[in-house]
Amino acid sequence: MAVSVIVVVIGFLDIHTLPTTITTTAFAEAVIFAAEKVSMKLTALAGGVGAAKLLSGLVKVFPPENLTIISNTGDDFRWMGLYISPDLDTVLYTLAGIANPAAGWGVRDDTFNALEVLAKLGCETWFHLGDRDLATHLFRTYRMECGETHTAITLDLCRQNGVSARLLPMTDSYVPTLMHTNEGTLGFQDYFVRRHCSPQVRGVSYQGIDASRPAPGVIDAIRLADAIVLCPSNPYISIGPILAVPGIRTALHETRAQVLAVTPIVAGEALKGPAAVMMRQLGEEASAAGVARRYKDFLDIFVIDRQDDELQGRIESLGMKVRIEQTVMDSMEDRTALARRLVEMLS
């Protein structure tokens, strides 16, 4: 019995972290460290591509069964009658190992036959939906029309795709992000994909958010977690919608878990997407410090990049600890290394 427990625990040890000659004490400590991690419950708040990168590292160093991911659904939208959930699908496909590695979103090696035919039929095809990806949207839309919730369908998609982490939409309500720009109010994908973020952003809102409720399991996943990670995602259009669902920010204040965020901005620029541009257009400081300020009411630890170490003092003066790491994730090794460091900080 004791032997099998140790074998299970060793299964979660990353062999590369072990010294070549390991002493009995060091071995015992490593086993205990891993055992604590095995029983720890972790909840992540996630946007799209940046979050998926970190999460794909996390599931390599932490048991995915103990991980709940709360996904932004503010950029959900309807296209040709189909319900599309881009951020949620990006996380789903990445954890399933089938994401398109070049774009980060969509399915690897997908074909675009349906889209080509639709183009010939005169339809708008600026949102590039591949044939395999379309199957997910058909499945989701059909089941929603049969009366099932976003949550139930997502859990089933995870099961069917072999994803062991529990992926939850932030809410079962439709709460689309609206971009208020110098060219009027645009739906999020209209602004982001069709207009390539070119209109000047004056404000962001989430339609119907005040009447929405957190999806089943979301509040408990925050209140009962041992640790919470805000992934390196855009504070306005990825983490912002999640925090705006009534009850979620309060749960982050009340949880006994340590709450940690990883910066999505390095050296004044976003690693992906329009976060830094949006911060400047909205009159905020486009830096890790600007992001930290938005979460200062509930954050315990903010992880900034080595390139921004001079911001440490300013961010600590907001009332949180700062950890300096390599947050830029160019390779799978970078993803697992950052994830391992976060788990160590939170253990």
How many residues are recorded in the chain?
A: 347
Would you count residue 75 as binding ligand FO1 (CB under 6 A)? yes
Give the residue with the Cβ less far from ligand FO1, 195 or 323: 195
Residues contacting ligand FO1: total by CB under 6 A = 17
The nearer residue to ligand FO1, 106 or 176, going by C-beta atoms, is 106
Q: Which is nearer to ligand FO1, 84 or 337 (CB)?
A: 84
- Rounded-to-integer distance, Cα 287 and Cα 171, Å: 29
Of residues 121-160, which lie at the interface with ligand FO1 (CB under 6 A)?
A: 127-129, 133
Nearer to ligand FO1, 57 or 274 (CB): 274
Stretch of residues binding ligand FO1 (CB under 6 A), selected from 46-54, 168-176, 217-225, 339-347: 46-54
66 vs 90, beta carbon nearer ligand FO1:
90
Residue 76 interacting with ligand FO1 (CB under 6 A): no
Q: Does 48 bind ligand FO1 (CB under 6 A)?
A: yes
Of 34, 42, 43, 47, which one interacts with ligand FO1 (CB under 6 A)? 47
Phi, psi of 149 (to 5 degrees): -90, 160
Q: Is 308 near ligand FO1 (CB under 6 A)?
A: no
H-only helix segments in the chain: 2-11, 24-39, 49-61, 86-96, 113-120, 131-145, 150-160, 188-189, 218-223, 239-244, 248-254, 275-281, 288-294, 312-316, 332-346
Query: The tokens of 98 are what?
Result: 């089938």
Residues pairing with 70 in the sheet: 45, 168
Q: How many CA atoms lie within 13 A of 167 on its CB side?
A: 35
Q: Minimum CB separation from ligand FO1 for residue 173, in Å?
A: 18
Q: How far is the CB of 98 from ligand FO1 (least distance, A)?
A: 12
List 63, 86, 214, 290, residue binding ligand FO1 (CB under 6 A): 86
Residue 143 structure tokens:
């089941």
Residue with tokens 């009850």: 247
Establish if 73 lies at the interface with ligand FO1 (CB under 6 A). Answer: no
Q: With H, G, I as helix, E, B as strand and everything else as coil, classify residue 127.
A: coil
Q: Could you tell me the smallest distance in angstroms from the CB atom of residue 157 to ligand FO1?
A: 12
User: Measured from the CB of residue 9, what is the shortest distance to ligand FO1 in angstroms?
Assistant: 36
Binding to ligand FO1 by residue 167, rule CB under 6 A? no
User: Is 74 one of the binding residues for ligand FO1 (CB under 6 A)?
Assistant: no
Check the CA dihedral 179-230-98-154 and report its sign: negative
38 neighbors 66 (Cβ within 8 angstroms)? yes
CA distance linking residue 8 with residue 251, whole number of Å? 33
Instruction: Report in angstroms how near the CB of residue 250 gets to ligand FO1 at its nearest.
Output: 25
Q: Judged by CB, which is closer to ligand FO1: 63, or 264?
A: 264
Kindly tell me which residue out of 9, 89, 261, 329 binds ligand FO1, with binding defined by CB under 6 A.
89
Asked if 308 and 195 count as a contact pair (C-beta separation under 8 A), the reply is no
Q: Does residue 192 interact with ligand FO1 by CB under 6 A?
A: yes
Please give the full DSSP string across 181-226, using - where no structure is assigned: ETTEEEEHHIIIIISTT-SPEEEEEETTGGG--BPTTHHHHHHT-S
Residue facing ligand FO1 at closest CB distance: 48
Question: For the purposes of burial, counting CB atoms within 10 Å of the CB of 35, is it exposed (0-12), middle (13-18) or buried (19 or more)?
Answer: middle
Residues that bind ligand FO1 (CB under 6 A): 47-49, 75, 86-87, 89-90, 105-106, 127-129, 133, 189, 192-193
